[in-house]
Structure 1
Amino acid sequence: MTSTSQFRDLNGQRFHCYHWGDPANPPLLMLHGFPEYGGAWSDLAPLLAGHFYCIAPDQRGFGRSWSPAGIPRYAASELVGDMTALIRQLDRPVTVFGHDWGAAIAYGLAMFHPDLTERLIIANGVHPVPFQRALAAGGAQSAASQYIHFLRQPGSEDILAADGFAKLLDLFSANMDLSWLTGARLANYRQAWGDATQLNRMINWYRASPLRVAKPGEPLTDLPDFPVDRLQVRCPHLLLWGDADTALRPETTQGLEAFAADLTRVTIPGADHWLLHQKPEQVAQAVLTWVNT
């Protein structure tokens, strides 16, 4: 099944969205991460389109959607606001499916807009509190996330965009299987990345984030007390996890049950951070089993 696409006006700005399936089906809002775009769901969405109406936007700063200049335009509240506008256009609550950075927006929708979020599915993505605790601990996750310091530096986009995005591809594939990103698909990704200016907008998600990353072996000891009651996921929550992920370590989800009482965990063996491309059939089966239980 191939996608259709259209532009939507969200809060007065132009956003590009991909769609699969019958609009009469329950809506599934699919939120990509870095450095992907809405078309990244093309392996998985057709496997879910018999049950859902799949909607995958290019989020702010990505692909063909609105990409404003300036780091403050990529604050989480603004990014979540884009998606609340999209859901309100649909005029019914949705199941939200987030991966990587898309998970951050998906959690924001579930925590702060429960009236719009019927169910939450996350694939190798993290709730902000367990993630911040893991980043601050100075252990395996702190070591794995040192690249964030590089990304936040001025001009990192110029380094990553040079030579046909060679360094970005190196970062994308570090210790993980990128065999799925070849040929026409790779050409589509390069087209979505555009140039260093477009990549700057994508990286601004990292620059705008308040997350703090400790140096390995030097834990941060001054984290604030997090308001657990305000950061609850009150809808049913499915967490899918590729167990070979080297970008997000297992400790990033430790204690998640304190924030999500109705949590189901499913491991996808042998998959890494890019499980949506590597194991789409297993991911789809896990999702459909969960929603039909």
Structure 2
Amino acid sequence: MTPNIQTWQQTLPHGITLSCRACGEPGRPVLMFLHGFPEAAFVWDPLLQHFARPENGGYRCVAPNLRGYETSSTPHDVKAYRAKFLVQDIVALIDAECGTQPLAALVAHDWGGALAWSLANGHPERLKQLVIINSPHPGPFVQAMRNNPAQQAASAYMNFLIQPDAASQLSADGFKKLFGFLRGSNDELRGTHSLAARAAPWLTPELENRYREVWGHGLEGGLNYYRASPLRPPCEQDPGAAAIELPPEMLHIAVPTLVLWAQDDIALLPCLTQGLDQHVPDLTLVPLPGATHWVVHEQTERVIEEISAVLKPGVQ
């Protein structure tokens, strides 16, 4: 029997409301899932339903739409999307779901992963395990922005996304640029001539409609993550991440961490896992060949398998 997905609006003590999706009974050990750009909480539905089943751990599985997405609160001020405020949202949601208990695991992709790295660094007591899917740790990312021309070029789309008219460009022609990005053309988000779209059989008409519905709520919130962050590639006007010095205490991750890295990600190259073990002593790194940035859609069963392998009985 497939567990039902519950949806609700969770108002947090500091005034932000997050629209949430969940499977499983309250009071069970909690798995929390954080999405990235330009996604939404619904991308985790197969994992919520899988891990909520009694035979798969019977977890309480929760996936919020992050601040700025879908019907969650969308402040207008770019400063409201700084990491400390985004992490505050997730810590408050953990409090609401877990009380004084830590998460069994925090699972995160892309921008959700950026929040998860920060939360695990600043609040390690709030989670027992961390699972990161194609989201760079700030240490290797800063190094790549200084020294790796290939990753600098792959990240150039970020400087397009901070432009004032990015939302209108991305919304034009039925979200053509965003769908091009999902189909594997990094050029679409750089605003340049598109490469030939790759085959993306996972992007069904039904899924396209789900994305259109989410994007129809607005794109400015998601774009403000890029505008608020200094972690972007250098350009003529801005040195970006290349000018940043991060102290070691901001980089250390004390919890056991599984990193899944799709090897065909055209935006976040495998080089971003180099040196990760310097910051994450208890690290399991699993390369996923033949997968792109959208591996949660493409290889759902493989992602579930790898997460299941680290959810040992002791974690519950």
The within-5 A match list for 1:21-40 is 21-40=24-43
CA-to-partner distance for each residue in 1:246-287, whole Å, 9 max, x for gaps? 111011111111111000111222211111111111111111
Q: Which stretch has the larger CA shift, 222-231 or 92-101?
A: 222-231
Give 1:221 deviation, angstroms: 10
> Equivalent residue for 2:122?
112
In the alignment, is residue 76 of structure 1 matched against residue 83 of structure 2? yes
TM-score (norm. length: structure 2): 0.86
- The aligned residue for residue 178 of structure 1 is 200
**Aligned position for 2:95:** 88
Give the 3 Å change call, closer, same or farther, for CA 221–202 of structure 1 in structure 2. Answer: closer
Deviations 1:25-83 (A, max 9, x none): 31011000000011111233222223221100000000111111121111111100100
How far, CA to CA, are the matches of 1:173 and 1:200 in structure 2? 22
Q: CA deviation at 1:226?
A: 2.2
Q: Provide TM-score, normalisation by structure 1.
A: 0.92
What is residue 157 of structure 2 aligned with on the other side? Answer: 147
Q: Rate the CA distance shift 1:222–1:275 in 2: closer, same or farther, 3 A.
A: closer
Contact 2:230/2:240, CA 8 A, preserved across alignment: no
Quick check: 1:138–1:215 contact (8 Å CA) kept in 2?
Answer: no
Distance 1:120 1:62 in 2: 23
1:4 paired to 2:6: yes
| Pairing 1:154-169 to 2, within 5 Å after superposition | 154-169=164-179
Distance 1:266 1:239 in 2: 6
Structure 1 residues 278 and 107: alpha-carbon distance in aligned structure 2, compared to 1, 3 A threshold:
same
Greater relative contact order (CA < 8 Å, ≥ 6 in sequence): 1
Matched, 1:288 2:308: yes
Q: Number of aligned pairs?
A: 289
Q: Is the 8 A contact 1:137 1:214 kept in 2?
A: no
Q: How does 1:1-293 map to 2 (within 5 A)?
A: 1=2, 2-10=4-12, 11-50=14-53, 51=57, 52-90=59-97, 91=99, 92-94=101-103, 95-175=105-185, 178-194=200-216, 198-214=218-234, 223-292=243-312
Q: Does structure 2 retain, via aligned residues, the 8 Å contact 1:19–1:54?
A: yes
> Could you tell me the percent identity over the aligned residues?
38
4 and 207 in structure 1: CA distance in 2 versus 1, 3 angstrom threshold: same
Distance in structure 2 (CA, Å) of the matches to 1:188 and 1:222: 37
Report the RMSD for the aligned CA atoms in angstroms. Answer: 2.0
Between the aligned partners of 1:220 and 1:165, the Cα distance in structure 2 is: 28
Which portions of structure 1, spanning 4 or more consecutive aligned residues, are displaced by more than 3 angstroms?
A: 175-178, 219-225
Judged with a 3 Å threshold, the aligned counterparts in structure 2 of structure 1 residues 98 and 222 are, in CA distance, closer, same or farther, namely closer
**Partner Cα separation in structure 2 for residue 41 and residue 177 of structure 1:** 22
